[in-house]
């Protein structure tokens, strides 16, 4: 069992017992597992317990159960919501988690945890949890038809339709990173060609910058990243220093995002699209503006939808997981 941090309840937080219908929200990530006690109706969170993510499915499940039991007020919790970085079927089976060592086959996570914890458990995709947190407690409050898109290493999204998280049969609703923006375009990490993620995700930007650098373009971006990966702060610096390749790549990223988001807004009659994730957090309003003003903006254009930055809720994954669980418990 990995060493657990001591549970911490901040002095300004009220004790867990006064939360209404509290649920333990858990964010299972590639490096850490974090659990908090959440009031789903407001997104308010108290207590925080963390552990390192071990390798191997059995160790991961045992650590999740242990972390949950250590959350202050656990006895009062009506259930558990768990966000995982993988595709989740509606019965709580997680098909695989590429970011977690040794998890490459389907596991009935909800059933396993119900057995260990004796309370109801709902499992959801972590990006969907982030979208739900923005919907309930962030920039999507009050919106019934709303898409949250997170632009980081890859591009993921979560869709709210008529006030509810849309999940689909295979948990793939909101996978906007893999919509096609140019069928003859760049290779995506998934093996298909021309997907949004290959243009707007940091991994795609990194790969393209290195390809163009090899072909002779000078690149501050690659100089900054060196042997490591291109980070959002490198992109920010490249833009600030007017590096030509960075400017080109980010215009292509903005065009690809505008194209895909405009089509999504038109198809789904969205009220708002919220944009979060490392790239958006770093580049902020200026990059948002280049998406909105892109000539490639899809569908009926930017006037039909409101594009805003995410509110970056603390521990959004855990908060969202608890809300998804509460909505499922009814």
Smallest separation, CB 260 to Zn ion (Å): 12
Instruction: Report the residue count for the chain.
Output: 330
Q: Minimum distance between the CB of residue 192 and Zn ion, rounded to whole angstroms?
A: 5
Number of residues that bind Zn ion (CB under 5 A): 5
Q: Which residues contact 130 (CB under 8 A, 6 or more apart)?
A: 83, 148, 150, 158, 276, 316, 317, 320
Q: Based on CB atoms, which residue is closest to Zn ion, 18 or 172?
A: 172
**Residue list 153-192, contact with Zn ion (CB under 5 A):** 178, 188, 190, 192
Which residue sits closest to Zn ion, CB atoms considered?
Answer: 188
**For residue 282, which of 195, 205, 180, 218 has the smallest C-alpha distance?**
205
What are residue 23's phi and psi, to 5 degrees? -130, 140
Rounded to the nearest whole angstrom, what is the least distance from the CB of residue 264 to Zn ion in the complex? 16
Residue 231 contacts residue 246 (beta carbons within 8 Å): no
Report residue 290 as tokens: 């280049």
Does residue 224 belong to the site contacting Zn ion (CB under 5 A)?
no
Is 282 a binding residue for Zn ion by CB under 5 A? The answer is no
66 sits in the region (left: phi over 0; alpha: psi -120 to 50; else beta) called alpha
Is residue 135 a contact residue for Zn ion (CB under 5 A)? no
Helix, strand, coil % in the chain, rounded to nearest 5: 40, 20, 40
Q: Is 247 in the site for Zn ion (CB under 5 A)?
A: no
| 18 forms part of the interface with Zn ion (CB under 5 A) | no
Name the residue nearer to Zn ion (CB basis): 107 or 188.
188
Q: Minimum CB separation from Zn ion for residue 197, in Å?
A: 5
- Tokens 């339709």 locate to 161
> Nearer Cβ to Zn ion, position 67 or 97?
97
Give the residue with the Cβ less far from Zn ion, 69 or 193. Answer: 193
- Catalog residues that contact Zn ion under the rule CB under 5 A: 178, 188, 190, 192, 195
């Amino acid at each position: 069992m990995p060493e657990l941090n001591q549970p911490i309840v901040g002095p300004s937080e009220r004790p867990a017992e006064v939360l209404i219908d509290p649920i333990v929200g858990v964010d299972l990530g590639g490096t850490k597992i974090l659990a908090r006690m959440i009031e789903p109706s407001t997104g308010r969170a108290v207590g925080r317990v963390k552990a390192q993510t071990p390798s191997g499915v059995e160790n991961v499940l045992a650590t999740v159960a242990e972390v949950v039991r250590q959350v202050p007020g656990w006895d009062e919790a009506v259930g558990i919501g768990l966000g995982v970085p993988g595709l989740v079927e509606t019965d709580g089976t997680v098909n695989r988690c590429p970011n977690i060592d040794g998890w490459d086959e389907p596991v009935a996570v909800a059933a396993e945890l119900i057995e260990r914890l004796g309370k109801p458990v709902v499992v959801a995709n972590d990006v969907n949890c982030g979208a739900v947190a923005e919907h309930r407690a962030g920039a999507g409050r009050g919106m019934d038809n709303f898409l949250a898109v997170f632009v980081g290493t890859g591009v993921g999204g979560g869709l709210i339709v008529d006030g509810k998280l849309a999940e689909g049969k295979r948990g793939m609703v909101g996978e906007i990173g893999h919509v096609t923006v140019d069928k003859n375009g760049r290779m995506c990490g998934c093996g298909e060609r021309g997907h949004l993620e290959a243009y707007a995700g940091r991994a795609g930007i990194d790969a393209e910058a290195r390809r163009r650098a090899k072909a002779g373009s000078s690149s501050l971006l690659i100089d900054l990243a060196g042997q490591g990966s291109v980070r959002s702060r490198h992109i920010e610096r490249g833009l600030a220093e007017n590096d030509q390749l960075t400017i080109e790549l980010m215009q292509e990223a903005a065009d690809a995002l505008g194209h895909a988001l405009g089509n999504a807004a038109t198809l789904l009659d969205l009220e708002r699209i919220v944009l979060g994730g490392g790239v958006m957090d770093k580049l902020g309003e200026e990059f948002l503006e280049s998406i909105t003003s892109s000539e490639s903006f899809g569908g009926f254009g930017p006037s039909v939808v409101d594009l805003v930055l995410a509110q970056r809720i603390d521990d959004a994954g855990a908060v969202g997981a608890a809300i998804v669980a509460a909505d499922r418990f009814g």
